[in-house]
Structures are given as C-alpha cells and as structure tokens.
A = this chain, B = another copy of it.
C-alpha cells in the first residue's frame, strides 16, 4: 500500500526557492542514509543536493484513506502560518547565532538580498514614478518575508520584489540512521533557505517582463545524529520575456548576463544560458515563456565566499541589464493589436508559472504566503482559441524565437 500511496501522491522538487514558499532539502553526504520510501530523486548524479519529497495535497488525492495517509505527510511539511508585521524587521534570521554571526553566510546572503530589493525597487520607482507597497511577515519558528509590490504604476502594471527566509525541516520518516550501528531514531533534518524573487510586468507591449531569483540553502545535521554532514548550495537566475523581438534588446540583456558570468568562469554563461532555455519550457506548447537569460542551481563546487560573490554579481546585473531596455521601450506607441498579443504572451506566462514552475507549485501546496507566491502572475492575461500568428509577422518572429532558442551573442 505504501508504494501505491507514494506513487499516487504528487512529488515536488525542493531545489528552487520561490519567496513566500518553503523548501526541504538534504545533504550531499547523506546519500546512504535516506530512506527512499518517502523521498524521490529529481537529479540522479547529484541527487542529494537536489531532492524531491513527496508532498500531499496534490491533485490525485480523493479517497479518505489516502487523505489520511497523505494528510499526515502534509501536516509534517506544511510551514507555520505567517503573522503580518507592522514594519520590515532588520533581519528575518532567528535570534541568536544566525542573527549575531554577521560574517556568516546566512547573514551576508540576507543582507545582500535586502540590498538588492532596496536597489531594484528604487530603480523601478525612479523610472515609474509610482511607489511600492511593503508587507512584512514572520513565522513563529523563525524566518519570514518582505514583499514589495507596485501595482498600476505608470510604466509597470505589476512589479514585485520579495525577500524571504525560511527555517524548515524534513520529516524523520525521510531519514534512516546514519550508520547501521545507530541505535537512536534520527530527528528531523533542519534546513535554512533565503532568497530574493522578482517579476516585473510593464504596460507597454514593447517593454519586456523580467524575472530574477537568487537563493541560498543550507541543511543542518539531523537532530539526534552527532557528526552527520551538512550541505549548502546557491541557485538562481535572471530571465526576460518580451512580447516583441528587438534583437538589440536581447543581445544587450544576454551580454550583461554573460559579463557577470565571465567574471567568474567562462563556462558559466553557455551552461546557465542553456539551463535557462531548458527550464522555462512550456512543455505542452513546445515553446519557452520568453527569451531566456541564465539559470543555475546546486552550485557548491567552489568556495562559498566565491559563490556568494558570483550570486551577488548576478543580482547586481539586474538593474543595468533591464532598466535601459525599459527606458528605450516604455513610451513607444502601440495599437490594440500589440496589446492583445502582449496579453496572449502573459497568458503563456501564467501557464508556465501555474503548471511548471517548481517554486510556485511547491509553494501553493505547502502553505506559503499565497499572495507573495502569486505576485508573479501578471495583472491581466488573455487566451484566444487557436491563435496562430501569420508567418513572418512580428508576433510570429517572437514565437519562433520562443520555440527555437538561439545563441544571441
């Protein structure tokens, strides 16, 4: 029966953080300690940095018997209800060691994402003239988030920049004693995740949407198992989604991302550009949601300080990579037909985010803050039956580039 329930329950990935959601993770060295009866692997070669855990609340739960079985798992993994705060706290880290260790990676990463949030919001406000609304929340067990949303602006119809910090833990069922000689049942495996996540949808159909997300994960040793290994990794990316193809914009944007990558490794841009094209595929359409950028995950094969610097470099490339394009396109005249096409592409954005995006789907099922998770959806979207742009038109050119990713540089 267990196998049946396992297979029927949805499996969800945990390697990408959508702010407002939580994640579970396990360590690279716990390879032999995990019971696969309640875990599943998304990436075989490096699977312990990249593990999926079966989560209930999926689509297939129907019988009361299964509900009971899976509800227990869901209960185990559901994050605590957030409490709204009257103002943004200085840190979302837990009191004590995390908050006090100013030079620790957790603290330095959090300060970086807060700085990025401030700078991106300031840059957007400077162009738009509108102001971001801020919502901050915390959770009883530590962690929380700060969402900033600008809606109905002059340039952007909806722009959001979220920071969040999550303290979570894997259920003990996912874990077996580290060695055959272990006599004590291990406790849960605590993890830490922090990230910044942003989506910005402009009004003008010639101005592209931008998404970026940078995140840092750590797992502790399982409770009750002395000397067990820890793990950490970085992930993230920046990708952009125009409704119309201006080659100069695409080249400019990709060049800024390549420049950031090249400072650290000439192999990064080609690898992360392809990863981005692969990730943002709307499988049922056979097309990407946009024209890519960079995407990476599971980065932990260098000194963590170097990888923090790399993630910072990428995040710092958002403003110079995006704002100049917006400045160029935001006031271009357009017709209702242009607007309708933009709205159809926004529909594709919704399809990707609700059907495929791991952070979104995971967040929806684990009880993250819904409004922060779904902030990524556009203000408005459109679905026309069987819309097919005529070959050679500007709409077709964009679609062709979404279907057949190119090397832009």
Contacts and interface: CB of A to CB of B under 8 A. Distances in A.
Interface of A: 3-4, 6-13, 36-37, 39-45, 47, 50, 52, 54, 57, 59-63, 65-66, 133, 135, 149, 151, 158, 160, 283-285, 343, 347, 350-351, 354-356, 358, 361, 364-365, 370-371, 374-375, 377-386
Given A385-B149, A385-B160, A11 B13 contact: no
A285 B42 CA distance: 28
A374 to B, nearest CB: 6
SS class of chain A's interface: helix, strand, loop or mixed?
A: mixed
Contacts of A50: 62
Contacts of A3: 3, 6, 36-37
6 contacts: A3-B6, A3-B36, A4-B40, A6-B6, A43-B63, A149-B386
A364 B374 CA distance: 21
B380 A7 contact: no
A42 B381 contact: no
Contacts of A11: 7-10, 60
Contact of A384 (B6, B43, B54, B379): B379
A13 B59 contact: yes
Given A8-B41, A66-B44, A355 B364 contact: yes
Contacts of A151: 384-385
Copies in the complex: 2
A73 to B, nearest CB: 12
B41 A4 contact: yes
Contacts of A358: 59-60
A22 to B, nearest CB: 14
A19 to B, nearest CB: 14
A279 to B, nearest CB: 9
A160 B279 CA distance: 32
Contacts of A355: 59, 354-355, 361, 364
Given A40-B4, A40-B7, A350-B350, A284 B385 contact: no
Contacts of A6: 3, 6-7, 40
A147 to B, nearest CB: 8
A63 B42 contact: yes
Given A7-B6, A63-B45, A365-B284, A382 B380 contact: yes
B383 A377 contact: yes
Contacts of A379: 382-384
A314 to B, nearest CB: 21
Contacts of A385: 133, 149, 151, 158, 160, 371, 375
A158 B365 CA distance: 30
A311 B158 CA distance: 45
Given A3-B3, A10-B10, A57 B377 contact: no
Given A36-B4, A66-B44, A374 B383 contact: yes
Contacts of A7: 6-7, 11, 36, 39-40, 52, 54
A137 B276 CA distance: 35
